[in-house]
Structure 1
Amino acid sequence: MSVLIIIPARYASTRYPAKPLAELRGATGEARSLIQRSWEAACAVEGVDRVVVATDDDRIKDAAEAFGAEVVMTSEDCANGTERCAEAFDALGGGYDIVVNLQGDAPLTPAWFVEDLVQGLRDDSMAEVATPVLRCDGRALNGFLEDRRAGRVGGTTAVFTTDRHALYFSKEVVPFTSETYADEDATPVFHHVGVYAYRPSALGAYPRWSAGPLEQLEGLEQLRFMEHGRQVLCVEVEARGRQFWELNNPEDVPRIEAMMAEMGVA
């Protein structure tokens, strides 16, 4: 099955304008933009036929082409990354069996997250969309709770059935737990990793559906699939000693840079 990775990137982020061009310094001190680091993460995934950046902004286009990325221009009307991926896929003429949305704010996404995600969609014929989830250790959970106490939107959490079909995603920490966990403890909370794999039929239908109340309240694009009765598969992935965090706010830059330094990511 052929696989296309699309990296949607927009300049006018409400929480962090110009976020794709924000620079991150790795363990060597070299600064590279968020969009370049996300593209490098996509290129490291095995079994992928093509990687493209989808944007509506010439500044991102110019920056991406300068480091060698293929770019597809999309309209300014896309409400989220999934709509941008759908438009880019259509502009490319389709022709792929699985489309991966590797959002441009997750430069620490390990290649095996995406590889496991694609395999999960291949293995579950009922699922039309798949997305990774990572069990939080105490350190990650405490980071989520700290963000909420400070009024920041941090990571997204997921709850799902015993066969891994999603029940809900939230920017709140769900399920509720009153326990205190040490940094290395496993917790009952799963961090939703902002990567998606779609079957083309589901991706093509998505822009035609209206955003429902849950999507609007949470600001989470994947809830549109669920509100329209589509199965979203949660694929549990293993950290293998890697830390993972998405860049949602300017305050996340030093946090991610510290993780990169600790892991030796250049």
Structure 2
Amino acid sequence: MLVIGSCLSLQFGAALATQLFPVFGSWGTTVIRLGAASILLLAVFRPKVWQWTRQQWLAVTLFGLTLAGMNGFFYAAIERIPLGIAVSIEFLGPLALAAALSRRWRDALWIGLALAGVGLFFVDDLLGTSRLDPLGVAFVLIAGLFWALYILAGHRVSATVPGTGGLAAAVTVGTLAVLPFGASGFVGVEWDGRLLLLCLGAALLASVIPYSMEFAALRRLPRPVFGLLLSLEPVIATIAGWMLLGQGVSALAIGAVVLVVCASAGSTATASDPQPGSPSPS
């Protein structure tokens, strides 16, 4: 229930955040999301950053930069393409990473299945059922690459920085990294009660609530089960886009989402436990 709640909160939060794009732009909205999360995490975990070594700071900084790239380019993508399609394409990043780390032929099959699913989106585009903005697709592919790098950087932080202070500091670094790109979105903004509520709701639903639920779920669930449940994100994102944003879904798009979900679930279900000392896939 915690994982499903996290997925629901994250994707409905992303749908809500699109309402802020006309005011702040996608990068300005990213600043709001990460900034609110960093304030909360710093207040709760209070990392003792003055005690960190140069190696720990380097790991946290890299983690924060990947977090910034993953969130910034994803929000730039959903400004141009439907939410469900964006989440489905973004899953190529961690799937490709899992296949590269395992070097097993069946993991290559899973990434092939996911590519087939993504291919259906482009078939749908050629048939004229839905239009895919090329720049939006490029942005979400970059976000998927940053997602894979985020996984690797997260493993390094967890190995070098004790506790959860590394996450709080990394989110702060990520906020500072996207600030130059999103700062212009705050110029001349007329603040009112509705806008403040939208910012608060997007920050809570897209950052604070899902982070808290995922942390709690990871303490209770084995990693394979957690990964299987997380594979439902494209489905939830498609539903959120349809319900909140009026983004229509064709039969081909539904088939594409199903293929990506099956590929993600299959990759997680067939993943073997990593050998001692070897990097572990997401």
Q: Same fold (TM over 0.5)?
A: no
Larger radius of gyration: 2
Higher fraction of strand: 1
- Bigger RCO (CA 8 Å, 6+ sep): 2
Which of the five TM-score ranges fits, normalised by the shorter chain? under 0.3
Higher fraction of helix: 2
